[in-house]
Amino acid sequence: MQYSEWEPIYEEIVEDMGYSREEDENSVRVLKAVTMNLQLEDERVLSELIGHEATVFGNAAGLEEDIGRNPPIGTFIASGSAVNRLSRMNIRPDIVVTDLDGDILAQLRASEEGAVTMLHAHGDNPAAILLYAPRFNGPVILTTQSKPETTVFNFGGFTDGDRAVCLARHFGAKRIQLAGFDFDNPVCKDGSDPAVKLKKLCWAKRIIHELNPEDVSIIGP
């Protein structure tokens, strides 16, 4: 998804969720500052990795069951929160899409093993960026949900899961299999608000299904 297509959706999300575009962009500045010495990559590495088919892994309760029913295909793209569970199944993601919550140690291990990590900045995570972003040793790409710039990209998407789907579509995947997605039953982290999480999932569902191009097949919930 090009930014010109994404920006109107982003503006709707900011208004609906009560977020601040300024805070999103401030977080980008933090991300850029603390990752200067990392192995920063650009779009070329994604063009090489993402093919005609991809599997996107979310962190819903049914992840293992979904994988057992439909073995993963193509490029493996994981939300950050799903990486540890995938590791227990001996599944190594090619790409990890993360805003630096979930099991960070598992994400760091995936990075060391060569997974490309899409490090995402938004208004709620500058503290996590400061703490964790400098620790990634593998290839890294910086992303934002606001306006992209030379070294910070935006391929569309709001949550880790739908950003991963947008990423796959942007780089040409035409058949995208979902595993570990449940738009009606949020998995809430300690201290998080289930109502807010459900609103995020509503946006994720819309981005994945309602905004899906006609030539892309989405397999899953």
DSSP string, 156-217: S-SSHHHHHHHHHHHTT-SEEEEES--SSS--PPTT--HHHHHHHHHHHHIIIIIT--TT-E
Residue with tokens 């306006």: 147
Domain count, the chain: 1
Which domain, by its residues, includes 13? 3-219
Looking at 5-14, 166-175, 187-196, which range is the least confident one? 187-196
Q: Which pLDDT score is estimated for 147?
A: 96
* Mean of pLDDT over the chain: 96
Q: Which pLDDT score is estimated for 188?
A: 63
Residue 40: phi and psi, rounded to 5, are -80, 135
Element housing 204 (H / E)? helix 194-205
Over residues 112-144, the pLDDT tens digits come to 999 999 999 999 999 999 999 999 999 999 999
d(C-alpha 84, C-alpha 100), whole Å:
13
pTM score: 0.96
